[in-house]
A and B are shown apart, each in its own frame.
Chain A
Amino acid sequence: MLAKRIQPMASQAKRLYVELMFQVMGRALQAVSEVDSEVQAEARTLPEGFLFEMMVMPDGSKLIVEHIGDGRFHYHGDSAPRPVDVSIKFKHLTHAFLVLSFQEKTSVAFANDRMLVDGDVSYAVRMTRVLNRLEAFILPKIIAERAVKEYPANLHLPEKLISAAQIYLKVATHFVQTVRA
């Protein structure tokens, strides 16, 4: 509680940022799965109706997408129609913030025990690859290189999708600067 009184704005800003980024990623996941054959190939092996969640423990922001078949994702916002199949849980808001503001790579965050996987690990591995590809898609190269282990050589970006996502991103990076300052 003491921490809350000292830094109310920073924590609130992180919370908003994480929530916003989850929305950006959820929409982008759906959009990318409609155009990118590599994401589709990864997703196709997931069962139809497969529900994937990313969330902040204990009961914070959520991102839920469903594989609706043929490699396509549908973004459900923050509520799942039924129990999810795989959940990636950040242990703390700060850890989610580190990852979603691209200060810590997703793979490093796993290695650092920042998050837990609940559910079938092989599906989680697949979703991590989808997320890596997504980050490479929606982020300017310079930031994406920080976020993923390796920047893919074969990105062919549908211009509209990117510009939309990058607008979100501008808001987002502005947030990061405010919060980090």
Chain B
Amino acid sequence: MSNTYYEFFCPVKVIAGKAALEHIPYELSGLAAKRPMIVTDKGVRAAGLLDPVIAACEESGLEIISIYDDVPPDSSTTVVRDIAAVYRKEKCDSIIAIGGGSAIDTGKAVNILVSEGGDDVAKYTGAGVLKRPLKPFLVVPTTAGTGSEVTSIAVITDEKKGVKLPFTSSYLLPNAAVIDPRMTLTLPPHITAATAMDAMTHAIESFTCMAKNPLSDAYAAAAIKKVSRSLLQVMDNPKDSDGRLELAQASTMAGIAFSNSMVGLVHSLGHATGAICHLPHGLCMSLYLPYVLEYNLETIREPLSELLLHLEGPEVYAATPSSRRAEASISALRKLRDALYKRCKLPRTLKETGKVTEDQLDQIAEMALDDGSIMFNPKEVNLKDARAVLQRAWA
């Protein structure tokens, strides 16, 4: 399993902890930016999350020139074009994306247009198209899960063609990711749970899939430990800002891990299920995680055994015979899912979602096989295998 060659890259400055938002003006001035535009969504604004950001900037004499708060959950090329038009009209010179995966991806795509010119972001789709740095760009995540603040990819829907366009370039990475516990404090329980399980899945897949490497492993292991220790604590006490910060950091660390070592079958199945059944990504991750680990078990026994230490702590690890540790890791994850189900009904099977019918499983399996992440799954997957995992996950 160990790679004799690997690459690791993460040039994003991480600004994390109490009063992190107050560092935004200083960071922007260091990038010679004076006229920032905020890109966000209605939910973030309604939750009052813009207020501390705006206040932090105004107190330092930095005016937010424009706020676009209408990013939809599935951002499109049209939205990107509209935001770029506002940016140009208002003569902005930098972007602050505040939100979850969609707002962040939109910010990345807008940055392509306003830096490279033009109205059609589809022109820049693919890998390695961008050849130079873009405008100053900060990201403030408001969910602790996607890790988008440290990944060099954005996915935007082309409405006309009805396809999802991937953009990959290290220039899409923000100059800084600002992680402030205030931003996730009001996240509702089911989103807290689902997004944390997304982070957990990033870390576990990165630790067990084909492109694992020692640097990613370190980030992944630390992220798993943080989620295991803090998730239920935060579920029981949502205002626990230390716990919130732990989850937010875990999400960023898991993001750093998986953007360097990729993910596997959990994500292939999750992407397909999201597209066909319109279920939230984090929910799908939590749902499929144990079934995929069981499918991969014999190929990943060693790394999965190691993870028991981070999932359950040293006592349980030491008390478990080494031949049982991989299975114990899977049980620990099942236990966590049961606890989440008890607290916020986060589904553990496809049936429990109430949104999937059994006759959709073939279509999901088919689509999962075409997902890029399947290339990095440690065990080969054919249509029958994918279908069998889905059947296990059904009920």
What chain A residues lie within 8 Å of B370 (beta carbons)?
122, 125-126
- In Å, the complex CA distance between A124 and B369 comes to 11
Shortest Cβ gap from B281 to chain A (Å):
18
Contact A110 B375 (CB under 8 A): yes
Cβ-closest chain B residue relative to A95:
B5
Contact A125 B376 (CB under 8 A): no
The reply on B380 being an interface residue by CB < 8 A is yes
Within 8 Å by CB of A113, from B7, B374, B375, lies: B7
> Which interface residue of A111, A116, A118, A149 has the most chain B CB atoms within 10 A?
A111
Contact A118 B127 (CB under 8 A): yes
Contact B379 A150 (CB under 8 A): yes
Contact A119 B126 (CB under 8 A): yes
Bitwise interface map of A from 93 to 118 toward B, beta carbon under 8 Å scored 1, else 0: 00000000000000110111110111
> Which interface residue of B4, B262, B372 has the most chain A CB atoms within 10 A?
B372
Q: Which of B127-151 contact A (CB under 8 A)?
A: 127-128
The reply on B166 being an interface residue by CB < 8 A is yes
Contact A116 B127 (CB under 8 A): yes
What chain A residues lie within 8 Å of B341 (beta carbons)?
none
Shortest Cβ gap from A105 to chain B (Å):
9
- In Å, the complex CA distance between A80 and B378 comes to 34
The reply on B269 being an interface residue by CB < 8 A is no
Shortest Cβ gap from B216 to chain A (Å):
11
Bitwise interface map of A from 62 to 92 toward B, beta carbon under 8 Å scored 1, else 0: 0000000000000000000000000000000
- In Å, the complex CA distance between A74 and B214 comes to 42
Contact A116 B380 (CB under 8 A): no
Shortest Cβ gap from A129 to chain B (Å):
8
Shortest Cβ gap from B367 to chain A (Å):
9
- In Å, the complex CA distance between A150 and B210 comes to 14
Q: Which of B91-140 contact A (CB under 8 A)?
A: 126-128
What chain B residues lie within 8 Å of A179 (beta carbons)?
none
Contact B5 A112 (CB under 8 A): yes
Shortest Cβ gap from B86 to chain A (Å):
31
Within 8 Å by CB of A125, from B6, B211, B261, B369, lies: B369
The reply on A148 being an interface residue by CB < 8 A is yes
The reply on A128 being an interface residue by CB < 8 A is yes
The reply on B323 being an interface residue by CB < 8 A is no
What chain B residues lie within 8 Å of A118 (beta carbons)?
126-128
Within 8 Å by CB of A111, from B127, B166, B369, B376, lies: B376
Shortest Cβ gap from B120 to chain A (Å):
18
What chain B residues lie within 8 Å of A124 (beta carbons)?
372
The reply on B306 being an interface residue by CB < 8 A is no
Shortest Cβ gap from A68 to chain B (Å):
21
Contact A128 B375 (CB under 8 A): yes
- In Å, the complex CA distance between A123 and B4 comes to 28
Known: A121-B166, A125-B370. A111 touches B128 (CB 8 A): no
- Other CB < 8 Å A-B pairs besides A111-B262, A114-B5, A150-B380, 16 of them? A110-B210, A111-B376, A112-B4, A112-B5, A112-B6, A112-B211, A113-B6, A113-B7, A117-B127, A118-B126, A118-B127, A125-B369, A125-B371, A126-B370, A148-B380, A149-B379
